[in-house]
Amino acid sequence: MWPYKKKIIPKKLHICMIAQKFPILGMAGAHSFLWPIAKKMVSLGHSVSVISWKNSQNKTYLDQDGVRAYFLGHIYEKASLSNFSELCHKQFLQLHKIQKFNIVHSIDKTGILIAQNKKLYKTPIIFDIEATAISQYLFLASLSQDNVRNFIKIHFNLLYRFIVNFLKQDRNILKQASAIFVSSTLQRSILERYFLFPDYHTYLVPYGVDVHDFSLQSKSPILQQKLLIPKQAKILLTISNMSELTGITSLLKAFSKVAIKKSSTRLIIIGNGPNYQNIQRLVLDLALGDHVILLGHIPNLELMDYIALSDIFISLTPHSSGFDPNLINAMVQKKIVIGADINPISSLIQNNINGFLTKPSDINTLGKHLIASVFDTQPSLELGEKAQSTVHKLFNLDTMAKQTLDAYYSVLKKRPL
C-alpha cells in the first residue's frame, strides 16, 4: 500500500474572489472592504483575481494595485444578472486553465457552479454567510413579541422560509462548500445547530468595512441649515433600504416619546424602497412631520456628511454578511450607536459600554436607549471613545488580511474537497 502523500501548500496563493458587488478601490459601497483586503494580500506576495458583475466606471477589466478584476456585466453587455453564475463559471475556467487557482472565495452564492465541480478542478471553495438566507431567519426571529398570536405567526413564517430557502438554495451551498466564513459567533452557532454544518469547517472572519481614516469629520453648519435643523438640536440618523417596516416603525414610535420631551430633536431617515410611502404615512399619523426628515436616496459618497452631522446613529436593518459600514463609520466618528441584537454588529457592541443593543420590535427598550442618548444620562463622550477604539482594534487592514489568509491556509490543510 502506497504511503499517504502529504499535500504541498504553496506559500504564495493564487486566489479567485467572486462577488456580484466588488467596488473599485476608492468607491463607497456595500462591499468596499473587499478591494483593500485583496490589495493587501497582493502586497504580501499572493495573486488575486476578481470576478464581479459591474462597476461604476463601466470597465470590462481592471488591473489596479496588482489586483486583476473582470466585470462580466460589461464584457457581456447583452447578458442579464440571472446569467451571472454561468458566466462566472466560464470566466473561472478560462483563468484556471492559464494558472491554477489554489482557492476560490465566493462572497455570495454566485460561485455555486464552481463549487459543484471543485473535485474536478481540485480547488476548494469558500462561501461567505451572505450566500445563505440566515440573515432573513435572524431578522424574523427578532420580530417575535410577548404574545402568543405574534409568536405563532412569526415562527410559522420562519419555518416556512427556512424550508423554502433550504431546499431551494442553502442545502446545495452548504453541501458544496469547503468552508463557510461567518462574522459572528451567533451565525456560527446557527450553522452548526440548525444546518448541521460542521464547526470544523466554519471560520470566524469579522471583516466588513474599509477603515483607514480615524480622523473626526466636523459637522457641516451649511448642511444643518439646509435641513432647517436648530443649532442646538440633537440629531438622530438611520439609513434603511425600507424593505422591512418593523425596524423603522419601532424607531418612529420610540422617537415620538423623545420628540415630546425634547421638541428640538430631529430624526433623519435616509433611503428609499418599497415601504417609503408607508413610512411617510406613519410619520404623519404619529404627528412627527416637524421632527422627522425623510431624505430618500443619498449617494454613498455623501453619506459621511450626514453621519458627521448626527449625534446618534441607529441601525435596525438586518445585514447578511460582515457589518453595516455606515454604523461602523458612525463608531469611528465617536457617535452613540444603537444596533439590532440580531446583526453581526451585536458581536461588536457591548450594551451600555460602547453603544446600545435592542430587538427591532422592542419599542420600550429602544425608547429608553434614545432617551438616554438624547439626554446624556449615559456619557456620550465615553461611549463614543470606546466605540472608536473597538473599531480600531478589529478593522485594522493588516489584521483583516491576516485573518482571511490564515483561514485560506487552514482550509487547504484540511483538504475539504
Residues 306 and 355 grouped into a single domain: yes
**Is the distance from CB of 201 to CB of 174 less than 8 angstroms?**
no
Same domain, 48 and 174: yes
Q: 34 or 4: whose pLDDT is higher?
A: 34
What is the band of 322 on the pLDDT scale with cuts at 50, 70, 90? Answer: low
User: How far, in Å, CA of 107 to CA of 199, rounded?
Assistant: 19
pLDDT above 50 for 1 = no
**Residue 163: all three cell numbers together:** 424550508
9 located within any domain: no
List the CATH number of the domain containing 257.
3.40.50.2000
Taking the C-alpha atoms of residue 250 and residue 247, their distance in angstroms, rounded to an integer, is 5
* Whether 111 and 95 share a structural domain: yes
How far apart CA 398 and CA 245 sit, in angstroms, is 38
Q: How far apart are CA 222 and CA 254, in angstroms?
A: 29
State phi, psi for 49 to the nearest 5 degrees: -115, 135
pLDDT confidence of residue 195: 85
Domain that holds residue 333: 221-394
- Please state the pTM of the whole predicted model: 0.77
pLDDT tens readout for residues 79-106 = 999 999 999 999 999 999 999 999 999 9
**67 falls within a domain:** yes
| Dihedral, CA of residue 175, residue 177, residue 178 and residue 179, to nearest 10 | -110
Residues 251 and 376 in one domain: yes
Neighbours of 318 (CB within 10 A): 22
182 and 281, same domain (yes or no): no
Nearest to 273 by CA among 255, 294, 290: 294
Instruction: Check residues 320 and 395 and name the one with the higher pLDDT.
Output: 395
Q: Does 232 map to a domain?
A: yes
- Give the separation between CA 374 and CA 355, rounded to whole angstroms: 13
In a domain? residue 146: no
Cα distances (angstroms) measured from residue 201 to each of 103, 125, 174, 321, 389: 15, 11, 10, 17, 31
Total domains, the chain: 2
Q: Are residues 167 and 314 in the same domain?
A: no
Q: Which helix (H) or strand (E) holds 217?
A: none
Residue 143 has pLDDT above 70, yes or no: no
Cell numbers 449615559 correspond to what residue? 378
